[in-house]
Every structure is written in structure tokens, then in C-alpha cells.
């Protein structure tokens, strides 16, 4: 896995979440523009990692996922939908001829409501995922 | 460039199923296990020495191939109930023959082709033992099982 692949991990996860949740925009950051509604933000974050011998990248990474919806109920339902991905192993095509795997390992804080600015309330969660290029 | 391809424990051995029909007309029902089924090869060996040096030699003389795991009891699952039934027969009738010669099927990972995992499906006859019925935790309803292969398994299909 080269440096570009490591940078693509976030994009691969975003591509997959887009395919699961259709009524939200999924992106790496949100804008403070009031019209930017129904957004899921996926950002890689830090955490304890494990590196195996002869692997050139950590086995898993941590991703913060924020769900900004129209209502608490919609955020709750979307957060639960994402939480149900735990244990799944997905193979996804990315770019040309690239195949990636995503294994959703653990799911933390699924219902932490956080206030991000005066208008926005989000459900914030952290996923421990293996996002790995397999070919 | 070589890439790593990781799998979860659930993908190494899949679809462990037990015969809930008869031995003439078997029906294989997948049993509801928790995430892990283990295959272990319990090897027996003999140590010996030869004239001219002092180094120990080890020779494998046999193996007991065993599938073990924890079964999460699902009372809607006929396979799970069939295992529980062997215990009933033991308690009520004092019989042990139902633990012998049980037909099972399972898939064992063979390799990968273009990103898709490939398996070999085996059919085998095993002797069964169960333990820890009831489990340690109140809401788990789990028990442990061990299946020891009697003779070789037959390859049913590759998928």
C-alpha cells in the first residue's frame, strides 16, 4: 500500500457510505453554509493501532462520522443504520482496477449528540474499520 | 505491488451445518454459532534419538482433527435443537450412540479469486461432545461443542 492508497482510505469509506445511505450527502468536511443540509462527514481520526510484521500500514484505522440531519430522529435512525454495519465485510471497487475491503470492527458512541455551531446538532460516532486495498 | 487481504474469523470456516435428516436422506441445517469455529489438528508424536548425535527427532504419528466453537442457541433453528436433543436422549435413556457418527458439512477457505473468497465444502462424520450448557452469562444461552472427525472428510463442492 503506497502513500496515495493511505490517503484514499477516507474516500473509499465515503464511497461505500454513499452507496448505503442515499438521502444524505457524504463528504470529508461540512460547510457552515445554511443550505448544506443532510450531510454525513467522514474523517479519519487517531487511536490505538496495530501493525503486523510485513504490513506497511496499520491493520485498522479510526473514522469519525458525524450525521447532520433535519431532525434528531433522522439523525438517530441514520446513526443506527451505520451502527448495524458492525461485523460486515465489504469488497468495493475503487478507481480503475482497484479493489478495497472494508471490515467494520467496532462502533463507539453512536448516540453522542454534539453541538457544532449555533444551528447544527450532529450524532457523532467513531468506527474502527479495516480499510485496505486488496488488489 | 503486493497487497494484504484480511478476513474475519467468520470467513475462515463458514456454514457449519449438522444433519437433521436421516443418514440415508441427510438434510444439512446450518447451526447458529457465535463468530468463531476453530479447526485444530491435535497431533500426536514420538520423540526419538539416533546414533551419532544428541538431537531429538520428532515424528508425527497421528492427528485428531477437531472442530470446536460456541453455539448460540437459537430455538427456531432445527440444527441447534438437534444438538440439544442428543443431551435429552442421554439423560432420559442413558444412550450415547447419538453422539457418534453425526453428519456435518462446513466450508473451509481455499483462496481468493479476483477479490472473491473461495471455499471448499466438506462433508464429514464426527463424534460430538457438548459442555457448559447454559453458559456463564445469564443472557447468553450458549454452549460449547467439539466435533472430532471420524476418518477423512469428503469434498462436496468448491465455491
Contact residues on chain B for A135, CB-CB shorter than 8 A: 3, 5, 114-115
Please determine, for residue B24, whether its predicted confidence score (pLDDT) is greater than 70: yes
8 Å CB contact of A135 and B6: no
Residue of A nearest to B3 (CA): A134
The CATH code of the domain that includes A59 is: 3.30.2000
The answer to whether B126 and B31 have CB atoms below 8 angstroms apart is: no
Smallest Cα distance from B73 to chain A, Å? 20
**What pLDDT does B91 receive?**
95
Which stretches within chain B are classed as H helix?
A: 78-93
Q: Classify burial at B11, counting beta carbons within 10 Å of its beta carbon; exposed 0-12, middle 13-18, buried 19 or more.
A: middle
**Given the DSSP bridges, would you call strands A39-45 and A25-27 parallel, antiparallel or unpaired?**
parallel
Q: What is the pLDDT of residues A19-46, one digit of tens each?
A: 999 999 999 988 777 777 889 999 998 8
User: Rounded to whole angstroms, how far apart are CA atoms B33 and B92?
Assistant: 26
User: Rounded to whole angstroms, how far apart are CA atoms A1 and A69?
Assistant: 35
What integer is the mean pLDDT of B52-67?
93
The number of domains in chain B is 1
CB-nearest to B6 from A87, A99, A132 is A132
**What pLDDT does B35 receive?**
66
Please determine, for residue B116, whether its predicted confidence score (pLDDT) is greater than 80: yes
Give the best residue of A91, A93, A100 to mutate against chain B (max B CB count within 10 A).
Answer: A91
CA distances from A110 to A28, A78, A93, B37 (A): 19, 10, 28, 29
Closest CA to B30 of B21, B42, B18: B18
**What pLDDT does A25 receive?**
92
Q: Which of A47-56, A68-77, B61-70, B130-139 has the lowest mean pLDDT?
A: B130-139
**What pLDDT does A122 receive?**
82
Please determine, for residue B153, whether its predicted confidence score (pLDDT) is greater than 90: yes
Question: Using only C-alpha atoms, what is the Rg of chain B?
Answer: 19
Residue B59 lies in a domain: no
A11-15, A107-111, B83-87, B139-143 — which one is most confidently predicted on average? A11-15
All three cell numbers of A125, joined, read 460516532
**Which residues span the domain enclosing A82?**
3-133
A123-132, B32-41, B150-159 — which one is most confidently predicted on average? A123-132
CB-nearest to B115 from A2, A99, A130 is A99
**Which residues span the domain enclosing B147?**
9-38+65-158
Q: Tell me the average pLDDT of chain B.
A: 89
Contacts of B108 (CB under 8 A, 6+ apart): B12, B13, B39, B119, B120, B122
Contact residues on chain A for B7, CB-CB shorter than 8 A: 89
Contact residues on chain A for B33, CB-CB shorter than 8 A: none
List of chain A residues with pLDDT < 70: 110-112, 116-119
Smallest Cα distance from B35 to chain A, Å? 9
The CATH code of the domain that includes B134 is: 2.30.110
What is the value of ipTM here, to two decimals? 0.78
CB-nearest to B3 from A103, A130, A133 is A133
**Predicted structure pTM score:** 0.81
Question: Using only C-alpha atoms, what is the Rg of chain A?
Answer: 15
Amino acid at each position: 500500500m503506497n502513500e496515495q492508497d493511505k490517503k484514499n482510505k477516507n474516500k473509499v469509506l465515503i464511497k461505500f457510505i454513499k452507496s448505503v445511505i442515499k438521502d444524505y450527502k457524504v463528504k470529508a468536511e461540512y460547510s457552515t453554509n445554511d443550505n448544506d443540509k443532510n450531510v454525513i462527514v467522514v474523517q479519519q481520526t487517531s487511536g490505538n493501532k496495530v501493525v503486523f510484521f510485513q504490513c506497511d500500514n496499520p491493520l485498522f484505522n479510526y473514522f469519525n462520522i458525524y450525521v447532520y440531519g433535519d431532525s434528531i430522529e433522522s439523525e438517530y435512525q441514520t446513526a443506527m443504520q451505520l451502527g448495524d454495519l458492525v461485523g460486515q465485510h465489504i469488497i468495493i471497487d475503487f478507481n480503475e482496477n482497484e479493489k478495497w475491503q472494508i471490515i467494520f470492527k467496532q462502533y463507539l458512541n453512536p448516540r453522542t449528540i454534539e453541538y457544532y455551531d449555533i444551528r447544527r446538532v450532529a450524532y457523532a460516532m467513531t468506527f474502527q474499520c479495516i480499510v485496505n486495498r486488496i488488489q | 505491488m503486493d497487497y494484504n487481504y484480511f478476513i474475519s474469523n467468520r470467513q475462515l470456516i463458514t456454514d457449519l451445518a449438522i444433519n437433521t435428516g436421516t443418514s440415508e436422506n441427510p438434510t444439512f441445517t446450518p447451526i447458529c454459532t457465535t463468530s468463531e469455529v476453530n479447526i485444530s489438528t491435535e497431533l500426536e508424536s514420538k520423540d526419538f534419538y539416533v546414533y551419532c548425535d544428541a538431537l531429538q527427532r520428532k515424528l508425527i504419528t497421528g492427528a485428531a482433527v477437531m472442530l470446536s466453537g460456541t453455539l448460540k442457541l437459537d430455538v427456531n433453528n432445527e440444527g441447534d435443537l438437534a444438538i440439544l436433543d442428543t443431551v435429552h436422549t442421554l439423560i432420559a435413556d442413558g444412550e450415547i450412540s447419538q453422539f457418534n457418527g453425526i453428519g456435518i458439512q462446513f466450508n473451509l477457505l481455499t483462496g481468493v479469486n479476483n477479490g472473491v473468497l473461495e471455499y471448499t465444502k466438506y462433508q464429514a462424520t464426527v463424534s460430538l461432545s457438548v459442555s457448559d450448557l447454559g453458559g456463564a452469562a445469564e443472557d447468553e444461552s450458549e454452549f460449547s461443542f467439539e466435533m472430532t472427525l471420524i476418518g477423512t472428510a469428503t469434498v462436496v463442492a468448491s465455491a
